[in-house]
Amino acid sequence: MTTNQMKASPMTTTKPTVVLVGYGMVGHRFLEALADTGAADRFRVVVLAEEPRPAYDRVALTSYFSGRTPEDLLLGEPGFLDAHGFELHLNSPVTEVDRAGRTVTTAAGHTVAYDTLVLATGSYPFVPPVQGKDADGCFVYRTIEDLHAIEAYAADRKVGAVVGGGLLGLEAAGALKGLGLETHVVEFAPRLMPVQVDEGGGEALRRTIEEMGVTVHTGVGTNAIVVTEGAASGMTFTNGEQIDTDLVVFSAGVRPRDQLARDCGLTVGERGGIAVDALCRTSDEAVYAIGECALAVDGRVYGLVAPGYEMATTVAHQLAGQAAKEFTGADLSTKLKLLGVDVASFGDAFGTTPGALDVVYSDSRSGIYKKLVVTAEGALLGGILVGDAEAYSSLRPLTGTGTPLPVPAESLVLPAGLGAPVSLGSSALPDDAVVCNCHNVTKGAVRAAVTDHQCGTVPEVKKCTKAGTGCGSCLKLLSTIVTDELEASGVEVDKGLCPCFAHTRAELYEIVRVKRIATHRQLLAEHGRLAGEGCEVCKPTVGSIIASLAPELAASGHILDGEQAALQDTNDHFLANLQRNGSYSVVPRIPGGEITPEKLIVIGEVARDFGLYTKITGGQRIDLFGAAVDQLPLIWARLVAAGFESGHAYGKSLRTVKSCVGSTWCRYGVQDSVAMAIHLELRYRGLRSPHKLKSAVSGCARECAEARGKDFGVIATSNGWNLYVGGNGGATPRHADLLAQDLTDEELIRLIDRFLMFYIRTADRLERTSAWLERIDGGLEHVRQVVVEDSLGLAADLEALMANHVTDYQDEWAATLADQDRLQRFVSFVNAPGVPDPSIRFTPERDQVKPDLGVLATAEDLLATLSADLLEIR
């Protein structure tokens, strides 16, 4: 139950009442952990939230500026609170705790009694006491409301500055850069991220960030905010320097929100934080504190989410009467991406352990810095990774085990060509090694999910253990452990495409390309493992490969020619999507959603004359439903004559490039998104790929075209275009990741060419770009190195493949209409051409038609009707 205001009187209940004050990420994890124990129904749980919205992913806050909405950031499955009877009250900050009476009072004056009180009040941003800090244009960076305010204020400003060069400071700098502001970062310490990285790592990070156009000031403090007519107009530093700025974001650290505890007499630390014991109990046994507001027994206030999750789980288990793991400290390891730069820090990153030794690799040209801290015996103590953090997931679990690394440490940091880098397998990890730091899941727990709970896939293991559902940095290692455990259990993990081929789709692509094999029959004969005609898996897969490589193979690119026609599924076989009643849909391409009145009239006339159901889709097209197979050529003849092309709604190929109206019409637009969307759609139309491709172009950061939900999406900036890849909607939605930013038109096209061709070459059968990006070794960073930096020297090859496609493109329906042999397939009955399919019937609804699924319920009905039709024709 979620309400914005408290009820006038508390609910009458005999259950013990648990009051949770604060509903952020840690508060939400407490509710999840309590639900996981199975004991949630034994309590009345009241959640008092200060913010106007339920818990959201504060770690991913900056993604709001990349197109994610506040709703996208919400935590938990829909209906989670109601399913467990948790009462959530938004806009209900607690102002008083009466420990003697065991009640809390909200700012609105409502009082709630508790048996157990859990404080999850988090922290607040520290704003240095500098002159001018309260002027207009000065902000903190903590909540979605803060982001809304920054976005609105930045709309007509040019320069922004961030006070603080730590994690949140660089996140804020990325946000200002994304809003199109000239951006400065001011850090009092001599380097960026002083808590996480050393001097070498800080220098590599600084160099890379400055190359992106962000000005970095280190080793200086903010002296004052220059105020003009009540608004920030500049900053002065302790070294005498001054800069002009229209907007200032303070991100100089956080402080625990412990005022409620102070006011009610709970013990707090000398430097803040609600003092708790190893079970997260405060000085009052009825009161617990978790997350950033708590001072742990080791004297630390933990500002990371993973320790907060551990505290939340500890308290939930106690309330449920289950054995609770004591919280005596936590791993401060972290991996994140700041301004597009991978940064990771784990274990004893600064080598404070006596006798610690460093193994360092630094490449200032590439902005890569790697340091491993080891003992004299070769055991891993910690490390710092900047610019390339791919090894983080496998290295962090080995930290602090005391066991020497299975390979020389230098082989883990040197790049290819300088030492043959080694990738550690899961066998190097002990069972007690923590694989998922966010949810404290060990390798042993992952193995048990496979062997004891019969989880056979990574998604099943994620659901069983919660591993990989936090920051996601452990997914690659998680997948390796699951595969290794399945194989160790005697389960053969067949990596072949299907029973006919032992090769993966990517391997078959290269075989076809290198050996110039133009038929499925030849490929099966030379490289198959089974004799025969192939199967329903390899036929369309190989057909797609051959179609995508047709110009290279000097073969026909038309999917209805020769053997190619036999390889297609029903949709491709008839160049239309089969619907539930046996009819087909007709989907003409409308690039960018732009269409003339004349073409609209043609579509309307076709729909009217053939009695088709019409619908405007979310992809900015008009779909026509209800066509019989023999009507398809007649319909398309009229559409092609009017200038329409196939929209490829039936194929594993580009569907649409959606767009907003852009700078041509919209007062917020900064680039012509319609022109770019049309250009992209016409360039990539007909491109056959492992799965369907969708795209969108937004004319500004407001993201009206929803580009970050597409396989490749483009968002305009004042400096050009930002390119996002690997997004999708559907049953498992995923937001796309930023691949490159501030691109010119030519740079954008070149990178999309490379990205699409690299995906087509290496993806598995029916693998969307989102799944491919998460599966491929190295993930997004590897793709960036190949596509943007040309690390494998494939760029020219990929661009040439796309150029061949563009040159060779032909509209499949126009080509079909020009070939009588192809048209002969468009009949309902091969042995009775001209006879309509009697099973396709319609019934009226809302001035259109819908399938009538109630007719011809039996085979006898169908045969009887068909016989009658044949007699009438004779």
Residues annotated within a binding site for siroheme: 704
Q: Is 127 helix (H, G, I), strand (E, B) or coil?
A: coil
Closest CA relative to residue 825, chosen from 609, 544, 630: 630
Q: How many CB atoms lie within 10 A of CB 191?
A: 19
* Strand, helix or coil for residue 571: helix
- Rounded-to-integer distance, Cα 657 and Cα 676, Å: 9
Q: Please tell me the chain's helix, strand, coil percentages from 3-state DSSP, rounded to the nearest 5.
A: 35, 20, 45
Q: Which two tokens stand for residue 23?
A: 């509903």
Distance, in Å, from the CA atom of 331 to the CA atom of 383, rounded to the nearest integer, reads 13
User: Contact, 187 vs 210, CB < 8 A?
Assistant: no
CA R_g for the chain: 31
Q: How far is Cα 607 from Cα 620, in angstroms, rounded to an integer?
A: 17
Give the pairing of strands 116-119 and 17-21.
parallel
Q: Token digits for 429?
A: 């990890």
Helices (H), 642-723: 662-665, 673-684
Can you tell me whether residue 785 is helix, strand or coil?
helix
Binding region for [4Fe-4S] cluster: 660, 666, 700, 704
How many CA atoms, within 13 angstroms, populate the side-chain half-sphere of residue 869? Answer: 16
Q: Cα separation of 508 and 495, whole Å?
A: 12
Distances (CA, A) of 237 to 137, 219, 224, 226, 277: 18, 10, 7, 11, 42
Cβ–Cβ under 8 Å, residues 458 and 440: no
* Helix 673-684 vs helix 745-762: crossing angle, to nearest 10: 40
CA 241 to chain centre: 41
**Burial level of 24, CB count in 10 A (0-12/13-18/19+)?**
buried
The binding site consists of 660, 666, 700, 704
Q: At 486, give phi and psi (nearest 5°).
A: -60, -45
Phi, psi of 354 (to 5 degrees): -55, 135
Length of the chain counted residue by residue: 874
Which candidate, 828, 802, 834, 826, places its Cα nearest to that of 560? 826
Tokens of 128: 């240095």
- Determine contact, residues 104/48, Cβ cutoff 8 Å: yes
Both tokens of 718, joined, read 């004042």
Please report which residue ranges of 100-166 form alpha helices under DSSP H. 144-154
Spatial separation of the C-alpha atoms in residues 313 and 208, rounded to whole Å = 39
Q: DSSP labels for 285-349? A: TTEEE-GGGEE-TTS----SHHHHHHHHHHHHHHHTTS-----------EEEEETTEEEEEEEST
Q: What per-residue string of b and e applies to 432-452 under the rule 16 or more CB within 10 Å gives b?
A: ebbbbbbbbbbbebbbbbbee
Q: Tokens standing for 347?
A: 């274990």
Residue with tokens 């990517």: 506
Tell me the three state secondary structure of residue 760: helix
- Alpha-carbon gap, residue 591 to 696, rounded angstroms: 11
Q: Is 811 helix (H, G, I), strand (E, B) or coil?
A: coil
CA dihedral (30, 34, 35, 39) in degrees, to 10, reads -170
Instruction: Read off the tokens for 707.
Output: 């580009």
